[in-house]
């Protein structure tokens, strides 16, 4: 790690990368618990892969914006440390696969040279802030949401309140009422609004997908733009303290809202307001970098296939509010593209557009600020790269997660079936290439990374067992999801489970029925009119598993017989003293609190002190085999088991001690006294643990 220490100008980033290197070493030496190491590396974009011994690296790209320079840097890193393949996710990130764990710190250091981070791309953190890919150019937008999305990203990056939550936290920004940022399925969703000339947002809270999708509640019909960051600061604090931590299946924000209700959440939110460091956080949108479009002469080109050119223009151009410009959509099959083409694309947009691309929620690429007169030239250049397939954001454009290709949690192939379904549409239903009324999405498991349960037609990877106890790959068919705009959406119904190899047949039946009976209705409205059982009746014959052929036991894109398996994660290979590890982490948090205090970051110091206290309490409760499901529960249980019983004397209750956090404003004086409280509490806990071990 010494070789790049001096190459990173930002000391905070340098420290972060060196810390990752140190923790990798400690983990491999058996000195850090596997679960704790997993939490640390995930918060730094390093994700265990289905294939043993290699990692997936997720590169965090706020609202999908990538400059030409950044794209070239990502290409260099992918070629050096990975395989040259770039995978666009449904959260506007880029993933690269098959990376050696030991090389991840230097990989990260290379990315940071062009202000690209891995920090909090995975893990129980505030994930990538997503937004409409048309932000800044949308003909219907009241204003550009990009500066607001960027400010929120910066505020929560490395923010101690969101580093070790019970589960991930997802945020989106929508440019207009079309809600292309999908606010209704996010933990927090913001839809741009103007009210009496004031910029603000409609705010949606507590949405989510997964096995139990939940429609977000309206938290505010209109919230001024300077209030969105203080609001989220409070929301994250509540989620961190009261959110479930032990059962991952119930640890998302949507379950907390379900348990305590929207009014209950608002009450907890009100209790946190004194601790929130800003009551107003103005965002200077005018300071956001201005677009600079390349000034070039229009190259003269001759289009050989004018029909193909016109078809491409009819499906792949997005109008811009800026006169004389359009955006070009590039359909990227399954979100996978390669560094050789990515470099050429980076040069193209740098020399002839605005030097940036936007990655979309549908795993595609949008090139903004293309002069209308340059369209023939761009078409020719993109054709040379294989980037002119018609059907951008149309029915042919199927979204799919990596599934069993690389993901630990994948149950059945999503990429293989996606390719086959696109082939079916292209060859048998060519008119759907230009149809934007039918959206098809596929996930390899219930976690919905492919967003299958908000699609018009969705497929979820599963398995099915025959009477002879043979296991075959299967698909859950879901129908009727839709984005209805302005924070309203419908989740798809589970209709029937079928063997995977019958997926194309199911799609044919669904499309044939719609064409015969839809009568001009949108697919979403047609489904609502007919209802779930109508579709179940004509699809259910496909669910019969009594007559499976040998081919049915081989998943799409595979040649070997299907075997349901969860990928293998890392294993430390040694026994760890978890209690000692927790107390060691408490000491680290004390040090973080001290450094934040010295840097004048009172709120950050206070939160580090708070997490140290809770972590120390968790250590003793873990030794007692007590539940440690939530921060709030840890605080109450520590009082009951140790303070009230007289086993530990704090001079007051632990709840009173710890929750000074939300009873005081984040001043320097309080940060200092609270840090001393945290130090004293850790010393008390360590002394108790030492005596306990001596008497054992």
Q: Are residues 185 and 256 in the same domain?
A: yes
Q: What is the DSSP letter of 249?
A: G
> Quick one: tokens of 609?
């002190």
Q: Are residues 526 and 583 in the same domain?
A: no
Q: Are residues 154 and 55 in the same domain?
A: no
Least confident of 31-35, 283-287, 373-377: 31-35
> Quick one: tokens of 620?
């003793």
Q: Is residue 629 part of a domain?
A: yes
pLDDT band at 3 (very low <50, low <70, confident <90, very high): very low
- Spatial neighbors of 435 by CB under 8 A, at least 6 apart, are 394, 395
Return the bridge partners of 399, or none. Answer: 441
pLDDT score for 478: 96
pLDDT score for 2: 43
Residue that the structure tokens 């759907």 belong to: 432
The enclosing domain of 255 has a CATH number of 3.30.413.10
pLDDT score for 558: 84
- pTM score: 0.92
Q: Is residue 52 part of a domain?
A: yes
CA-to-CA separations, 188 to 170, 184, 192, 325, 405, in angstroms, rounded: 7, 8, 13, 32, 30
- Condensed to tens digits (0 to 9), the pLDDT of residues 302-342 reads 999 999 999 999 999 999 999 999 999 999 998 999 999 99
pLDDT above 70 coverage of the chain, percent: 96
- Condensed to tens digits (0 to 9), the pLDDT of residues 602-635 reads 999 999 999 999 999 999 999 998 989 999 999 9
Q: Is residue 82 part of a domain?
A: yes
Mean pLDDT taken over the chain? 92
The enclosing domain of 40 has a CATH number of 3.90.480.20
Q: Are residues 584 and 669 in the same domain?
A: yes
Q: Is residue 573 part of a domain?
A: no
Planar angle of CA 126, 567, 457, nearest 5 degrees: 65
Q: Are residues 515 and 595 in the same domain?
A: no
- Condensed to tens digits (0 to 9), the pLDDT of residues 354-406 reads 999 999 999 999 999 999 999 999 999 999 999 999 999 999 889 988 877 66
Average pLDDT for 142-165 = 97
3-state secondary structure of 129: coil
Range of the domain at 424: 399-553
Domain count along the chain: 5
pLDDT higher than threshold 80 for residue 52:
no
The enclosing domain of 370 has a CATH number of 3.30.70.3340
Q: Are residues 74 and 193 in the same domain?
A: no
Among 585, 615, 604, 606, smallest CA distance to 663 is for 606
pLDDT score for 574: 32
The enclosing domain of 685 has a CATH number of 1.20.120.330
pLDDT score for 5: 52
Q: Are residues 204 and 268 in the same domain?
A: yes
Which H helix or E strand runs over 465? strand 457-465
pLDDT higher than threshold 60 for residue 40:
yes
Q: Is residue 122 part of a domain?
A: no
Among 32, 28, 56, smallest CA distance to 44 is for 56
Three-state helix/strand/coil letters over 18-84: HHHHHHHHHHHCCCCCHHHHHHHHHCCCEEECCCCCCEEEEEECHHHEEEHHHHHHHHHHHHHHCCC
Higher confidence at residue 384 or residue 41? Answer: 384
- Spatial neighbors of 627 by CB under 8 A, at least 6 apart, are 246, 621, 633, 637
Q: Are residues 351 and 417 in the same domain?
A: no
Among 494, 464, 406, 445, smallest CA distance to 210 is for 445
Q: Are residues 406 and 545 in the same domain?
A: yes
């Amino acid at each position: 790690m010494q070789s790049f220490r001096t190459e990173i100008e930002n000391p905070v980033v340098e420290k972060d990368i060196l810390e990752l290197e140190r923790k990798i070493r400690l983990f491999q030496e058996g000195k850090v618990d596997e679960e704790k190491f997993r939490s640390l590396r995930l918060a730094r974009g390093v994700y265990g892969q289905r294939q043993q011994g290699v990692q997936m690296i997720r590169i965090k790209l706020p609202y999908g914006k990538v400059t030409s320079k950044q794209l070239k840097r990502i290409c260099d890193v992918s070629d050096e440390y990975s395989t040259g393949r770039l995978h666009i996710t449904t959260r506007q990130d880029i993933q690269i696969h098959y990376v050696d764990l030991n090389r991840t710190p230097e990989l990260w250091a290379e990315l940071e040279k062009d202000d690209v981070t891995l920090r909090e791309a995975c893990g129980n953190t505030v994930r990538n802030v997503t937004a409409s890919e048309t932000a800044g150019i949308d003909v219907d937008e009241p204003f550009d949401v990009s500066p607001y999305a960027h400010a929120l990203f910066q505020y929560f990056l490395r923010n101690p309140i969101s580093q070790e939550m019970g589960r991930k936290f997802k945020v989106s920004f929508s440019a207009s009422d079309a809600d292309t940022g999908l606010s209704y399925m996010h933990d927090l969703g913001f839809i741009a609004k103007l009210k009496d000339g004031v910029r603000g947002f409609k705010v949606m809270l507590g949405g989510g997908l997964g096995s139990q999708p939940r429609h977000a509640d309206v938290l505010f019909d209109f919230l001024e733009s300077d209030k969105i960051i203080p609001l989220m600061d409070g929301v994250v604090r509540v989620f961190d303290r009261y959110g479930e931590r032990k059962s991952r299946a119930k640890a998302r924000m949507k379950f907390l809202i379900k348990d305590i209700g929207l009014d209950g959440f608002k009450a907890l939110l009100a209790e946190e307001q004194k601790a929130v460091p800003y009551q107003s956080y103005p965002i200077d949108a005018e300071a956001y970098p201005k677009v600079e479009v390349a000034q070039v002469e229009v190259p003269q080109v001759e289009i050989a296939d004018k029909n193909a050119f016109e078809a491409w223009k009819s499906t792949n151009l997005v109008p811009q509010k800026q006169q004389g410009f359009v955006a070009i959509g590039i359909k990227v099959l399954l979100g996978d593209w390669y560094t050789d083409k990515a470099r050429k694309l980076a040069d193209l947009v740098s020399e002839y557009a605005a030097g940036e691309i936007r990655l979309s929620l549908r795993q595609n690429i949008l090139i903004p600020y293309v002069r209308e007169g340059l369209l023939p030239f761009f078409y020719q250049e993109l054709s040379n790269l294989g980037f002119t397939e018609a059907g951008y954001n149309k029915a042919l454009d199927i979204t799919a997660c990596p599934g069993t290709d690389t993901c630990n949690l994948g149950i059945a192939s999503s990429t293989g079936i996606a390719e086959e379904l696109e082939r079916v549409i292209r060859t048998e239903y060519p008119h759907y290439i230009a149809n934007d009324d039918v959206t098809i999405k596929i996930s390899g498991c219930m976690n919905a990374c492919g967003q299958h349960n908000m699609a018009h037609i969705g497929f979820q990877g599963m398995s099915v067992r025959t009477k002879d106890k043979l296991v075959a790959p299967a698909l859950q068919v879901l129908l009727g999801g839709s984005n209805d705009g302005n924070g309203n959406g419908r989740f798809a119904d589970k209709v029937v489970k079928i063997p995977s190899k019958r997926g194309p047949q199911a799609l044919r039946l669904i499309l044939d029925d719609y064409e015969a009976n839809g009568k001009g209705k949108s697919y979403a409205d047609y489904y609502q009119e007919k209802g779930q059982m109508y579709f179940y009746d004509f699809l259910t014959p496909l669910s019969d598993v009594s007559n499976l052929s040998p081919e049915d036991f081989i998943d799409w894109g595979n040649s070997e017989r299907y075997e349901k398996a969860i990928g293998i994660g890392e294993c430390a290979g040694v026994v760890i003293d978890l209690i000692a590890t927790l107390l060691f982490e408490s000491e680290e948090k004390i040090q973080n609190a001290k450094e934040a205090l010295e840097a004048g970051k009172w709120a950050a110091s206070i939160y580090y002190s708070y997490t140290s206290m809770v972590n120390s309490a968790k250590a003793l409760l873990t030794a007692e085999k007590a539940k440690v499901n939530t921060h709030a529960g840890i605080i109450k249980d520590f009082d009951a088991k140790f303070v009230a019983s007289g086993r530990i004397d704090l001079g007051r209750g632990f709840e009173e001690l710890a929750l000074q956090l939300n009873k005081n404003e984040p001043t320097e004086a309080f940060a200092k006294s609270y840090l001393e409280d945290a130090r004293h509490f850790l010393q008390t806990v360590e002394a108790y643990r030492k005596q306990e071990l001596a008497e054992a």
